[in-house]
Amino acid sequence: MTQATNSLYRQLPSIDRLLREPQITSLIAFYGQTQVVDILRDMQEQARFNIREHQALPEWSDDWVASLQRKLDKIQTSALKPVFNLSGTVLHTNLGRALLAESAIEAVTQAMRSPVTLEYSLDGASRGHRDRALADLLCTLTGAEDACIVNNNAAAVLLMLATVAQGKEVVISRGELVEIGGAFRIPDVMVQAGCRLVEVGTTNRTHLKDFQQAINSDTGMLMKVHTSNYSIEGFTAEVSAEELAKLGMASQIPTAIDLGSGSMTDMTQYGLPAEPMPQDYLNHGIDLVTFSGDKLLGGPQAGIIVGKKRWIDAIQHHPLKRALRADKMTLAALEATLRLYQHPEQLRQKLPTLRLLTRTQSEIRDMAQQLIPQIRAYYSEKFVVRDEPCYSQIGSGSLPVDRLPSWSLTFTAIDGRGSTLENLAHQWRNLKKPVIGRLYDGRLWLDLRCLEDGNALLRALLLL
């Protein structure tokens, strides 16, 4: 070991000396001594490695306190960071889908801070059922005989199939064998539930006679799946829910529909495209309907099963139910969300999902024109900044063909390089509150449909 190398090692401060530094003492008070000491030891080892390999101290060794602070900040940064969703997709699966209403947030907070009557009956001072209160509310809203809640809609479909048709055949149209995000496929779920898939019809046309001809002594269920994330157009035909329900009753075979998204209110009254509602299918006589809580319903992630009491009772007693059940925070948020539907005259204002979906293009354009002068001035050296019309999408497999007229800010690189735009998008994703836009047609688009606080975006983009 050379004299120069020894000199570098001697420049490394001891842990004890560092811990006596006033600034590090303050960090210990905030982050805890164990964590601070562990990081300082790692930093010392990194410095020793740098000396061994490069005969030099690392660049950060001039300021151990600042380097320690950066490492602590990085470790403490939440993995679930709030972001500006300016992607143009309202119910963005990767960004958490539906935003919760304030009443739902308050209900979750209360459920976290205090013991609650999750499975406790105040009437009899005995054990109750965690789904009961919400099941009664869902029955009131949909007209179902009973209801069951699990942790997401995939779980709802799995549990329903495992309960009703395990070891039997499930008949479904070939055109409805959907795959959703994360490679969730209906045929695969049927296998896991212990069912045997029977495809009928063709990709574009399925008739009632196709279902009739498939029925035999091993048939356990007749099923439809709402094709919420794609559309088949042209020469098409499908079996209606009413037709399927009548066939099921005549054959004494249970019928089910997986809605996927599922809306609890008529979307057309708000000027939005029509989306099937669970209550419509129940009115047609379908035995069981499953749908999500965190899509058009506007609540937390949950899977909801509504339908005939005899089947819901069986589902509640299936061993899988305990593994798939929802926790108290989900139930609290879902109940608060569902209660908003009891006041339909206020739903548009109080349910964030509906509020964002129903914003008019002119309202969004006004916001863009208020923001653009400051943003254009800040970015004009490298980008041409414009406000332009665009189209938003609902997202999460809901109404895939329909688009909502919206307004955006667009950024075009003056140097014409795609890498310049990619660097800008990367820069925004690394802000304290990341800004998520989309690259398309040689521009970086910020769709403002989901932006309700323009000043917050200005503070983020202008680094104020």
- Boundary-marking domain end, from 347, 380, 397: 347
Say how far apart CA 409 and CA 390 lie, in whole Å.
9
Specify if 79 maps to a domain.
no
Pair (335, 360) in one structural domain? no
- pLDDT band at residue 463 using 50, 70 and 90 as cut-offs: confident
Pair (367, 439) in one structural domain? yes
Say how far apart CA 388 and CA 443 lie, in whole Å.
11
Pair (62, 145) in one structural domain? no
Specify if 47 maps to a domain.
yes
For 283, the enclosing helix (H) or strand (E) is helix 278-283
Q: Is the pLDDT higher at 216 or at 227? A: 216
- What letter represents residue 111's amino acid? A
Pair (184, 231) in one structural domain? yes
Tell me the average pLDDT across 185-210.
Answer: 88
pLDDT at 105: 98
Pair (125, 227) in one structural domain? yes
pLDDT at 464: 58
Tell me the average pLDDT across 60-78.
Answer: 89
Mean pLDDT of the chain: 91
pLDDT at 359: 96
Say how far apart CA 299 and CA 296 lie, in whole Å.
8
Q: 421 near 439, Cβ under 8 Å?
A: yes
Q: Is the pLDDT higher at 216 or at 275? A: 216
Angle at 432 between CA 427 and CA 438, to 5 degrees: 45
Burial level of 139, CB count in 10 A (0-12/13-18/19+)?
middle
- pLDDT band at residue 181 using 50, 70 and 90 as cut-offs: low
- pLDDT band at residue 313 using 50, 70 and 90 as cut-offs: very high
What's the domain count of the chain? Answer: 3
Say how far apart CA 191 and CA 116 lie, in whole Å.
38
Q: In which domain, by residue range, is 334 found?
A: 102-347
Residue 449: give its domain's CATH number.
3.90.1150.110
- pLDDT band at residue 369 using 50, 70 and 90 as cut-offs: very high
pLDDT at 176: 82
Strand order in the sheet with 383-392: 383-392, 404-413, 443-447, 438-440
Angle at 30 between CA 24 and CA 31, to 5 degrees: 85
Pair (382, 400) in one structural domain? yes
- pLDDT band at residue 174 using 50, 70 and 90 as cut-offs: confident
pLDDT at 119: 86
Burial level of 55, CB count in 10 A (0-12/13-18/19+)?
exposed
Pair (155, 61) in one structural domain? no
- pLDDT band at residue 238 using 50, 70 and 90 as cut-offs: confident
Pair (321, 424) in one structural domain? no
Specify if 162 maps to a domain.
yes
* pTM of the model as a whole: 0.88
Specify if 15 maps to a domain.
yes
- Which range among 180-184, 250-254, 346-350 shows the weakest confidence by mean pLDDT? 180-184
Tell me the average pLDDT across 251-279.
Answer: 91
% pLDDT > 70, the chain: 95
- pLDDT band at residue 78 using 50, 70 and 90 as cut-offs: confident
Pair (142, 195) in one structural domain? yes
Residue 459: strand, helix, or coil:
helix
Q: 389 near 405, Cβ under 8 Å?
A: yes
* 99 token code pair: 């935003």
355: how many CB neighbours lie within 10 A of its CB? Answer: 17
Tell me the average pLDDT across 185-201.
Answer: 88
Tell me the average pLDDT across 357-363.
Answer: 96
Pair (317, 381) in one structural domain? no
Specify if 308 maps to a domain.
yes
Pair (361, 333) in one structural domain? no
Residue 280: give its domain's CATH number.
3.40.640.10
For 313, the enclosing helix (H) or strand (E) is helix 309-316
Pair (49, 88) in one structural domain? no
- pLDDT band at residue 112 using 50, 70 and 90 as cut-offs: very high
Instruction: Decide if pLDDT at 11 tops 70.
Output: yes
